[in-house]
Amino acid sequence: MRSIEKIETRYMKFKMSLLALSFTLICGWAQGQKKEASPFDFGKMWTFENPPKAWFNEAYNFNPDDQWFKDVRMSSLRFASWCSASFVSPNGLIMTNHHCSRDVVGALQQAGENFDKQGFHAKTYADERKAEGLFVEQLVEAKDITDEVFRIVDNGNDQFSRDEAIQNALKTLEEQYKARPDWQGLRTQLVTYYSGGRFALYGYKRYDDIRLVLLPEVDLGFYGGDPDNFTYPRYNLDCTFWRAYDENGKPLNTEAHYFQFNENGVKDGEVTFVVGNPGSTERYRTVSQLKWDRDLRYPMQYRFLSNRVKILNEEYDLLKNDPSKEMEAQAKLNMIANVANGEKAIGGIIKGMNDPLLFDRKIEMEQYIRQQSGDGPYWDELNAEYEKLYPHTWPMMHLGPSGLRGKVLLLMHQLYNYEDQVKNGAEQAEIDETLQNINDLSMGIHTKDERKLFNLLLDEIEADIYPGDNTLTQLY
């Protein structure tokens, strides 16, 4: 088995070189950017079935062939449902970030072990530990089916609305592709882009036997805390190594597609791509929507997350040095990492939205698009709808059920559910389950921590409630 120590060393050289180059490129872009809007204000992110090959050639003098795209796609992975990963050896070794594994490695600890403090390193294949329920997915097929969808819709009859016809066409095409030999055994996923302007079908190969190989301890893998994570070139070992096994219990043969470590790092000016499993974006929101985001939605979310990070850190500090509460401390640290990551992301969004240079470019882009799209009333109608939304933002942001808001609010939601179920004649089993939830929550709301969370919720509502709103007054 390839030495993990050598892999770690190569990884650190690769990561630091890559981040240094990325930082140089980003800084150069920021210093040279213009106020005028650009098509790339919407980002430089592409899917494998629709890459801008001509632009790669124009911008970078880079001309990858179809085999290059296939190799990159097949070497990349979706780690469970929440992270990106890659094959990095010919025998199924997988690399992902440290935080991507935190929610699953706790169950792999044996008596006397604490991965947060000691980390984990499997010296042989036999020492690697299988994580039940963990999986990775490899994107084997990626197909743009837009033309096929509209061909079916345009050749159809009028018995369905256009939206219904599109959905029927998508289902038909999905079944047809699943029956093809090269799509056999793949999990298919239909994705709609640009609000119905483009459609894609993806086929994933799933691997369910995933075993832990190496996990750095928290002081090394999470050194610097969340601010280090993606913020600047870090001095930690932000990685986890796993291995995929085949159906015969053997390390997966991945010699056809995997990313090899470059001991020399990247060179200045070298074209560099980041391949991953992206979440959804909101890059096409209008100026009206973004003003609501900037002034209300995101500031409320940021305050909520910042307050919770502070509380969680206070709770963790009380646990971390108590040997009898090691598992509880680990779970709390996982929660801190997740919430703090959201806090950081939204904080960056708010900063960008309050940058006149960036926001003015968004306004300019929208004005250009409006000029090219006719005199329809849609833009003004959407603006009017968002003006109506402003007074209702605080309950949307603060009154949704969440364990981070405490059990009192969860109890209120369960009481409402019970009333609604009884009124509408729900099944008795459903009503009984709600009653059990009410009983369980009622038993846990009288603690000091729950009172603290409820008081914090009321303070946040008071800070964000729309002037003149008497909703809370009417409740008493």
pLDDT band at 157 (very low <50, low <70, confident <90, very high): low
Amino acid 228: pLDDT? 60
pLDDT band at 461 (very low <50, low <70, confident <90, very high): very high
333's tokens: 């640290």
Residue 181 has pLDDT above 70, yes or no: yes
Q: What are the two backbone dihedrals, phi and then psi, of residue 343, each rounded to the nearest 5 degrees?
A: -60, -45
Amino acid 341: pLDDT? 84
Q: How far apart are CA 360 and CA 356, in angstroms?
A: 6
For the chain, give the mean pLDDT: 86
Residue 188 has pLDDT above 50, yes or no: yes
Amino acid 12: pLDDT? 34
Amino acid 334: pLDDT? 84
Who has greater pLDDT, 216 or 225?
Answer: 216
The partner residues of 192 in beta bridges, in order of sequence, read: 199
Q: What is the mean pLDDT of residues 375-390?
A: 89
Per-residue b or e along 268-300, where b marks 16 or more CB atoms closer than 10 Å to that residue's CB:
eeeeeeeeebeeeeeeeebbbbbbbbbebbbbb
Residue 238 has pLDDT above 80, yes or no: yes
pLDDT, one tens digit per residue, over 243-299 is 999 999 999 999 999 999 998 888 898 988 889 887 777 878 899 999 999 999 999
Q: Which region among 120-124, 180-184, 323-327 has the lowest average model confidence (pLDDT)?
A: 323-327
Residue 349 has pLDDT above 60, yes or no: yes
Residue 33 has pLDDT above 60, yes or no: no
